[in-house]
Structure formats: structure tokens, C-alpha cells
Structure 1
Amino acid sequence: MDDLAAGDPSHIGPFRLLGRLGAGGMGRVYLGRSASGRVAAVKLVREEYAHRDQFRARFAREVTAARQVDSEWAARVLDADARAEIPWVATAYVAGPSLQDVVGRDFGPLPEPSLSALGHRLALALADIHSAGLVHRDLKPSHVLLTLWGPCVIDFGITGALSASAGPGVVVGSPGFMSPEQMRGEPVTPAGDVFCLGVVLAYAATGRMAFGRSEGGLASMMLRVAHEEPDLVGVPAQLLPVVRACLHKDPARRPTPGQLAEHLAYGSVGDSWLPREVRLQVARHAEVLRNSGLPAGHRRRQYLPPVPEDVYRPDPPPPPPSMGMPRGHAYPRVAVSRARTGAWRSRRRARRTGALLLGLVLLALVAAWLIVRYVT
């Protein structure tokens, strides 16, 4: 994580920014923390997109759908504002390195057990994303983060907003990690994500892109993806049929994420699904949470920087009942609290009654034993 730069906002929505996590084609990503202590990856889209009405409308729809994704293997959307001066979206922060960094920079290809677990969990993530009516459109190694309990997919449902506003003939995605139909500018379906999953697995197994690099330009890459066979040398034999099926040129002949997950069922991953040296790097990433400001749940607002007038955030919430409300006002929260208190008291009375009855039964048994022992 890098420090905030000059010109970066100090807050976005309810999140105080702690540093920069990165930047991409869609915008900049910050590490933020809410007043309640929740840590999030907050993406602020590029300003040029903020002035496109079509982008805002599609962004709002995509974020609404992304909020419905409930997956153990995909980062949860926490908050967003498509009507802000600069639209933004916040997702749960995942403390782990990307698959791209682990394979391409630090350690090289993953072993076969890790690959099976990776493919299984990514297939489950895609199934959950697709069930919400979304297509990822940009599944690639930098959008797969590795944690001790498994991989986590990020940035789903956002590229669609950019695709809708880019105009005809413009291909939005990452060369080398797009399906043939996506490169041709055709509508992207869930089968396109399956193709991307195959390319990601091949990369994780070999450290190479299945259709080569894009130095020759996008046109050269498109020809290789559309007409040439992928380079799968080095993919483990047990995983090879799965990768080949994902990379079929015909979308209709690719397996579904559900079929992939069933084929790659790996059981419980646990904290040993990655090699030891990779697990150590993952653990070091978790240090960001412990060194990124105030501890979770701890509030010391007097130490927070002042909020500028032009901050990208919605109107502040209304004041709590103790600020400016008439004395004796009946608040809904109080009514709920009393109802819950009544339920707790009823449960306590029931437990006390049960304990009393049990005590009486024990006394009766002791008395009966004494009568039998000393009287008879």
C-alpha cells in the first residue's frame, strides 16, 4: 500500500482513506476505514466516466446487482454511490496478494493441489456471480486475490458499465484474458467468464499466458485467440482436460461453472492449500489490517483529519436522538430494545423455573433414598 498523494481525497463516502492500493483502467483504489472500524477497498472511478450519463446508469445497475452476490469466494460489495460527483464503490478488503504477483513475480507456477483448489473455488465464485445476473467480463490473475482459506474474486460487475459507455467497435477488457467473442465485440455471456477461467488456470499452472503476450498488438492477439490452439505445455495432466474444455472456441461447448466445480470438488481447503512460502507472504499482507490506522471498532474521531467541503460522499446521517430531539420522544429503537428486554426476561424466568423444578426433584429423590436407607 502506498501513501495518499497530493490531490487524493481524505474521505470517500463514509470511509476515511488510509492509503492507495492501486490504479487501473477504471480508476484508483484506496484502502478505507469507516467510523465503525470496517476496512474496505474503495474504488473511485476515473473522472472522465463520471460525465457519461450512460456510464452512471449502467454503473448503478451493475452495483445493485453486485450487492446481491453472496459468495465465500468473491469480495462483498459494502457500499456505493453512483450519483456522487465522482461515482465510487467499496468492497470488503481482502488481505492477500494477487495471483499475478504470486505467480508472475514472486514464486512461479502453483503445484497441482493448489491449482485444483483454485479452479474449484473460482468456479464457485463465478456460479454465485452469474446467479445474481452478472458477468465478470474481466477475470484475470490481478483480479484473483489469494488468502489463507482460498482465492477471492474482485472487481466483478464493474467492467460492464464501462463496456456499455465505450461505444461500438471498442473492446473493453484485458488482452490475453478475453474470450474470442469478447474480442470480436460480441455480447459477453457467462461462457465468456469460463473461457477466462481457463486462461487463468493455465497461467497459474505455467506462469505463461496461454495465447502469448500482446507485444504484437491487439489484432495479433485476437487472431491467436480466435484461430490458434493455446499453449498448455506444463499444465498438469489431471487438470489439462478441464482447461481445454474451458478454452473451447465455441461458447456453447464450454462447461458451466457448476459443472467445473463438481468436477474439481476438492473438499475442505483449510490453511494449507498454498505452498508454505506463499502462505507466509499471504500472512504478511494481513499485517496491513493491523498497521492501517485505528483498530477495528475503536473510535477516536478527534484525531481524524478534517473533511474538505468538496469530499466525494453523500449527505451526513441524521443526528442521534440525544442531539436536538424533544425530551420524552418515543424512538423506535427504544421500543425494539424494550421488546428484546422482555424476551430476555421471559427466557430467564423460564430457566429459573426449570432449575427450581429440577432442585425439587433432586430433593425428593434424596428424601426417598433416606427413607429407604434408615426407615426400612
Structure 2
Amino acid sequence: MAISQAEAQPSGFLDEEIAEFRSNRDLIKEHLDTTQRLLTESFSKALSPEFSAKLQESLKFEPVRQKVNQLYRGNQTGSSDSSKPCIIIVGQTKSGKSSFINELLGGTFVAQSQSPCTARVTRLTYSDRIYVLVRSKTGEQIGDVQYLEKPTIEEDLVKLKDEDRENDELISSTVEAGIKCEFLRHGIDIIDSPGLNENSSLDSLTLGAIDSFLPIIIYVIDSNSGITVAVQKDLTTIKKTVLGAEVFYLVTKMDVSKDTEQEANRPAQEIEEEKAERVFSKLQRLGYISPNETRDKCNKFLCVSCWEVRRFRRKKELMIKKNKLDPEALKEMENSKWVRRFEEVKTRILKFAQDQFRNLIVSSGGGLRRIQSEILTLFMDKATNIKESNLRKKKALYQIKSLEQEIHQQSKSIVEKNRDELLRQAGLFFAERKPLILDEVRALKYSESVISADMSQKDIEKKCVDEIHALINDRINCVILRLPQRWGSEIVPTGIRRLKAESRRVRKGCGTDARVPGVKEDASRRLLVVVKGLLIGSFECYNIQDKAFRETDGTISKENLVECLITSLKEWFEKQHREFLDNIASSEQLVESCMKLTEKERSEIKTLYPRVARLHMLTMDVISKYKYRGFRIDTEGNLGSGAQGEVFRVLNESGEPALAAKRIVSDEPSLDDIATEVYHSSVLEHDNLVHVVGVRLHKSKPDEKRWTVEIYMELMCCDAWNLMQRHRLPVRQRLKIGLELAKALQFLHSSELIHRDVKLANVLVSEDLRQVKLSDFGLVKSTGFVNRTLVGTPIYLAPELVRGESYHTSADVFSLGIALWYLFEGTGKRHPEYVEIMPSVGAILLAGALDCRPTRLPNMSDQLWDLMESCWSGTPDSRPTAKAAVESLQKIVDSLES
């Protein structure tokens, strides 16, 4: 007859825990599958092949997938329940392990023997009817089920004979016993393993059990033997088998007999303490227990005496059997140290099991969060690069056009400027070279290629004149065109070099990665043709003298020669300028095509980003259920409120304030914005940023699309605005708050993020004022995602936001300048004059857009006023960076301290 553990449904302490674990395990797997599906399907369709390939290459899904699969793995000890946690008892002391199991379960269930033997793995599980059976290593039942009157598993059933030790089928089989026991009702099985390092097949089976679903490993150590070489080898093997596995160290045989006490001439308690300390300190030295732990507080180390517990249990059984219960004697025994300690063991083991559940979810969920965070980081980087690249392309084209126009005008003016020099050189030429050239003309001999017999006299004369002109051209060109070459050297070092540099920038953005169908020649090649023409155009040899001959009566004067040269150069420059304008127009079209494609990808990224952020928040929610179990929001401890929701204190398991939580009631679409806030504020870690450590999502009703989101964060005292209203702080302390705020912005901006709601109400301080942290990441955006949306607090808004223009990180610096004014003012009760007289928010916004600014306050130093004015400059590019503001503020604060 076959039997399955499904006959008995365990109920008890861990029932809800196991059910919740399975539910959350499924959620982690669902979020992992969705994330991977987004990568392989949605991303590949929406994004460029290059970026999709980069994502595929960067993200390491396999290790996370293995961790999640571990949550579904069945154990290898023959259980038909593939997801039932089990306590695995391991150790070198056979009698110590058996004694502990029996006393843990409150009876004699496994045979106890001092002599070592080769035994099979034994699994104890809950059942209303006591049974024993044997399962193969694949989990199939071998033979019939034996139903027992007493729950004791005979040693002969577990022990293997010498001749069976090499029989793999026998040695890898498992003895399973169903026992009606209250402890097993908690939903945990107990596995009694053979000692390690005894037989390779048994080792494999034991390690297979350890590497099962949720192994709760208890290693039993004999206090008399301590940490032997064999024990060290066991622990090393276990750690290697299950990476990150936690082990509960149980030290047994702690009782000290009266004979031992008298022989040692020391109190029993002192001997017990020495035995416990010897084992504990050795485990610390070997690195199995943290050196910061103490024996009393360590949650995975406990000492027991099974003998004392067994004596109490048997005496109680005997009293019940004889119907002679002695309440006083029972109470005395129940209150004895080792009996109470054993009750603590049960509680501690169940708590240890809970911690293992927590560790599994937190570990696998943490791996998934890292992948989701990496996707979001890559998205932000790509969107920022696209936006900045497109701005650079536009700027580069504008600069190229401006430079070319400058060079064109410069070239023409250089030609005119050197007219007198040309005349002087021409005069020198005629004076020095004319006799020599005439001699060459007289001595010129005409070849047959010039004059032939069938030519007329007129043709012969024309050919001879042409030949003479060609000779004169050669000689004149060698001298007279040296001047334009020198003019070219005036242009090349400045304009042309800059023009080439800008062309290279355009090429970077509009090259092969631009993916413009049918366009083989990119903008850079066209521009470089123009650059090359400008470089050599002044040196090209035009037949200027021939033109001078044709336009005169046959004689060459220096005036005619120079006029022809200047006219020809100007014509060439005009021609090149027209060609350049044609080429730049074509390049602008190409850049526009590139930008449309990249902007399309950026738009797709902006669409996908909230979906991944939502998955990240959902994964974080699952993790937070375990990390902050027992924490509760103190609704009477309201810390403040804002546009999004209220902030409360969060009490830990002991009822002490430990965190703060922002509670937001949200509809479905708004969850995307909240998810983005949670992502930014949870992954960014800096001394001056409030760090979000967890999030919980609660649905109002299953059929409603309303959510209550609780965002857990560091607990701070109050915000800087309220602080100033309550206390009159020294100016140095107030400016230190501004300095820490500037440091927060410096870090955000270095991460390509804009806060967009910098104000003193979002600057939190600790009770001792030593910590200053920027909070509220609800409006934080990557620089690659910002548009022209008007967001923020009116008084602090930069004018470019109010005017609906594009903006950058300098908008936060503007707000910093306003915050510094309020900090110096110091009371939190006075506003700038233009704010005081304005009747509405709209009027305040208009005043900011019209360049209304706070006025200088009495006793304000020149350095501070200069910094404020530069921060709230109407020209964003002229404002200092957050880094520069930090440096300036540091000097100002230091000067006040000195």
C-alpha cells in the first residue's frame, strides 16, 4: 500500500508563513518572467538593434533565474512534497543527534546509540497515523508501508549491514516515518542525516538533502569534543555545497555530573560556561560566527543538555502512568535551566526557519531588483546621450555655418587688404624677370605637336602666341601665387582647423550608426570636401595670365595682372561658398533624419521606463514584506504632509521609532510616477539624500484600481523650513544646511538627474542637526527624459521653466540660490518683496519670469550675495554648477567658523 504525505495536512506555527512564502515566491518568478519577456520582446521591437544587443549582453539573468528556481526545488530525500521545508540534523555525534531529535519531538522516535554505524537518511514528517516506509533516491516507495503502534524507528531499519555499504540502491534509499507530533504540525519535516566523510554515497545523499528547498541546517556539536578536524571539514563542505547557507550551531552534552564537579573542584556552572565559550570562540575564529556577536545575543548558537530534558520527560511520563502527579516537583523540573533552555531551542529553531524564508525571498528578489535597476540605469544613460548628442549636432552645424561665413568674409578681406602687396610683387616681377622671360621667348623652339604642315599662317601665329603665353604663365605662377599661399596660412590655423573639428563632431552623430536608409555619403564627408577646398583653393593655379592677355591688347601690365588675380580669387571663394551652403543644407537634412530616428528611440525608452520602474517597485514590495515584518505605521506620529500624502513614524517590532513612511493614496496611472520616485530614492545612496529602504502596496479593494502606497525611509527630525520657524539658529549653522543641500545637488547632477522641487520644506535635518538630507524624489527626472512641463514650487522656480523653455540641471541651482536667501533670512516668516505683494501663484510665477529677484539683506557678505546672484541668473548657462556652488559655500562657511 502506497502512502503520501498529502494524507496529513500540517497546521501550526509555520502554516501561514509557508503559504505566504509560496505566494511571494510566485510573485518573484512572475516579475522575473515579465522583466525577461520585456527584454526579449518589447525592447527588441522598440529599440535599436545596437542598444538591444547591449542590454542583452549587460544583463545577467541566469544567476537570478537559478536563485528563483531554487525556491521551487524539491529535496532529494524521497519526499513527495517538493516545497516543504525541513530541519536537517548534521553532526559527528550520533547519540547527540538522536537525543536532540527525540527531545525536540518529545518522545523516543529514533534509536540512540553511542557506537557509530552506517545508516540511511531518515525523514520524520507529520501524520495522524504512525507509519514507516522506504523510498528510493528518486522518491518512489520501496515495499509496503509498516503501520506502527509505537512511533520508534528501529535501528535495524536505518542501519546498513557491512555487505550493503557498497550497494548504491540501498545506501541511497531513505527511511520515512510519519509521526503524530505537535512540533511537526508546524509544517517542517526533520531529517536525521548520517555523518559526513563516512561514505561517498552517503555524503552525496546528505549533501543532496542540505541542498534542498529551504534547508534549516542544525549542526550538533559534542561539547566534550569541541570543534574537531572532522567538524571543521563538515562545516567547510556544507558551506561549499549551499552558498550563503546559514547553520544553527547546537552544542549538546552540556550537563556536568557531580563527580565531574568534585573532581574538577569547580562549580558546575563554571565548567558549563567554559565548555560553551570554547566552542563559541572557536567558531568565531574559524569565521562561522561574526566576531561582533556575543554568545548571549547570537541567534544561531545555543547550548543544551538533552539528558536533563529526557530525565524530566520520563519522570513526568512515570507520574502520569502511576497517576501520581506531583505539581511542585513538576514545576521545579520545568523551571530547571536545561528544560527551559530546550523550550527556547524550539522557539529559536522556528524563528531561524522564519529567517531562512526571509533570506531566500530577500536574496532572490534582491538579484531581480539589481537587474531591473541596471535596465533603468541603461535607459537613463541612453536617453541622456541621445538628447545631448542631438543638441551637440544642432550646435555643431550652427557653429560650422558661422565659422564658414566668418572664413569666407575673412578670405575676401585678406585679398583686398593685400592688393598693394600684389602690385609691389608684380612690379618687382616685371623689373627682375621680364628680361629673362623675353630671352626664353626668343630662344623658344616649337615642336611638331605645336605646328604642323597643314596649318594656315593664321593658325600657326595663334599657336605660337599660345605657346608663349603658356611659358609666361608658368613663370608668373611660380612667383605671383606665393602671396595667396601666405594668405591661406592666415586662415588655416584658426578658422579651418575649427571647421574640421566641428565636422568630426557631426560625423560622430551622423555616421554609420545614424541608420538613414539609402544615404551612403554622410554629412561629415560633404563638409570635409568643403574644408579641403578651402585649404587648397588659394593655392590652385588658375590661368590668370591667359585671361589678362585675352582682356587686353596683348600686353601685360602689373595692374591688369593683379586685377585678374583678385577677381579670379573672389570668384573662386564665392563658388566655394555656394557649394558649402548646398552641402550644409544637405547635411542639415541628414542630421534631422538622424535626430528623428534617435528621438523616436528616446520616446520609446520614455514609454518603457515606467513599466520597468513599476516592476522594480513590485519586486521591492515583496522584499519589504519580509524585511519589515512586524513594523507598523504610527498614525499618531504624524511628521508632516505634502501634495502627495502624509508622513508618519514607523515603529519596529519592539515598538520603537525606527523609520518614517510616506503614505500615498494613488490611482492606477499615478503608480508609474510613484514607482519612478521609489526607484531613484532607493538606488541613490549619498550622505545628503534621504534613502528609501522599502515600499508596501495595499489595494483598497480587489475590484477597485486604488492603491495605498507606503514608502519607508530614514527617520529624520523635521524639515529646515519648520526648523527655522521653531528655532533661531546661528547664520553659520543655517548656511551649513545650504552647503549640505548643494552637496546633494552635486551628487544628483553627477548622476544626470534633476530634482525639480528644491526647497527648504524638502530638506530634512536630524535631531542633532548633524545630518542634512534632501528628500521628496517625486519630481526627479533623468536629464534625458525632461520636457518643458511646468513643475515645482512657484517661489523657487527658474524663469525658463515658467516660460515653458527647455531646462537642465541649472534649474536646481536657481532654486538653491532662493533657498540660500531664505536660510540667511533665518526666520522662515519673511518672503522676498515681490512674493509678499503678489496676490496669487500665477502672479508669483510671472514675477519670476520677469526677472524679479530677492533683494540683498543687511549684513550679507559680498561673497554670499555674489553667489546668490549668480545662482539665480536669468541666463541658465551663466549659473555656477552645483559643484562650484559647493566650493564657494564651503569657503563662506569656513570664513564664518574662523
**Shorter-normalised TM-score: what interval?**
0.5 to 0.7
Say if 1:170 and 1:264 are closer, same or farther in 2 by CA, change over 3 A: closer
Give the match for residue 285 of structure 1.
none
- In structure 2, stretches of 5+ residues that fail to align are 1-623, 700-706, 782-786
CA contact (8 A) 2:788 2:805 kept: no
Local SS of the residue matching 1:212: helix
Matches within 5 A, 1:175-190: 175-186=794-805, 189-190=808-809
CA contact (8 A) 2:789 2:801 kept: no
Q: CA deviation at 1:79?
A: 1.2
Deviation digits for residues 52-84 of structure 1 (CA, Å, limit 9, x no counterpart): 42x322321232122222221222111124686
1:91, 1:225 → 2: CA distance?
Answer: 34
CA contact (8 A) 2:687 2:773 kept: no
Give the match for residue 202 of structure 1.
821
Say if 1:249 and 1:52 are closer, same or farther in 2 by CA, change over 3 A: farther
Say if 1:129 and 1:25 are closer, same or farther in 2 by CA, change over 3 A: same
- Confirm or deny that 1:22 pairs with 2:643: no
Local SS of the residue matching 1:194: helix
AA in 1 matched with 2:647: V
Percent of aligned positions with the same letter in both sequences? 23
Say if 1:214 and 1:190 are closer, same or farther in 2 by CA, change over 3 A: farther
Bigger Rg over Cα: 2
CA contact (8 A) 1:77 1:91 kept: yes
Give the match for residue 840 of structure 2.
217
Give the match for residue 514 of structure 2.
none
CA contact (8 A) 1:202 1:209 kept: no
Give the TM-score normalised by the residue count of structure 2. 0.25
1:200, 1:30 → 2: CA distance?
Answer: 25
Give the match for residue 719 of structure 2.
98
Picking from 767, 778, 796, the partner of 1:158 is 778
CA contact (8 A) 2:788 2:801 kept: no
Say if 1:266 and 1:70 are closer, same or farther in 2 by CA, change over 3 A: farther
Picking from 663, 670, 678, the partner of 1:63 is 678
Matches within 5 A, 1:75-154: 75-81=690-696, 85-95=707-717, 97-103=718-724, 105-107=725-727, 111-147=730-766, 148-150=768-770, 152-154=772-774
1:192, 1:177 → 2: CA distance?
Answer: 9
Q: CA deviation at 1:245?
A: 0.9
Give the match for residue 255 of structure 1.
880
Q: CA deviation at 1:215?
A: 4.7
Say if 1:90 and 1:214 are closer, same or farther in 2 by CA, change over 3 A: farther
CA contact (8 A) 1:122 1:151 kept: no
Q: CA deviation at 1:27?
A: 0.8
1:90, 1:134 → 2: CA distance?
Answer: 22
Matches within 5 A, 1:29-44: 29-35=647-653, 39-44=658-663
Q: CA deviation at 1:189?
A: 2.9
Say if 1:29 and 1:216 are closer, same or farther in 2 by CA, change over 3 A: same
Q: CA deviation at 1:185?
A: 4.3
2:722, 2:893 → 1: CA distance?
Answer: 25
2:752, 2:657 → 1: CA distance?
Answer: 27
- Confirm or deny that 1:51 pairs with 2:667: yes
Local SS of the residue matching 1:87: strand
Moved more, 30-39 or 172-181: 30-39
Give the match for residue 227 of structure 1.
850
Say if 1:126 and 1:32 are closer, same or farther in 2 by CA, change over 3 A: same
Picking from 841, 862, 868, the partner of 1:243 is 868
Residues paired across the two proteins, number: 247
AA in 2 matched with 1:259: A
Matches within 5 A, 1:300-319: none
2:870, 2:893 → 1: CA distance?
Answer: 25
Q: CA deviation at 1:111?
A: 4.2
Say if 1:34 and 1:266 are closer, same or farther in 2 by CA, change over 3 A: farther
Local SS of the residue matching 2:794: coil
Q: CA deviation at 1:159?
A: 2.7
CA contact (8 A) 2:763 2:775 kept: no
Give the match for residue 351 of structure 1.
none
CA contact (8 A) 1:126 1:257 kept: yes
1:239, 1:169 → 2: CA distance?
Answer: 31
Q: CA deviation at 1:213?
A: 3.6
1:22, 1:116 → 2: CA distance?
Answer: 24
AA in 2 matched with 1:264: L
Local SS of the residue matching 1:159: coil
2:822, 2:661 → 1: CA distance?
Answer: 28
Runs ≥4 in structure 1, deviation > 6 angstroms?
none
1:21, 1:72 → 2: CA distance?
Answer: 21
CA contact (8 A) 2:863 2:892 kept: no
1:125, 1:64 → 2: CA distance?
Answer: 17
1:74, 1:116 → 2: CA distance?
Answer: 17
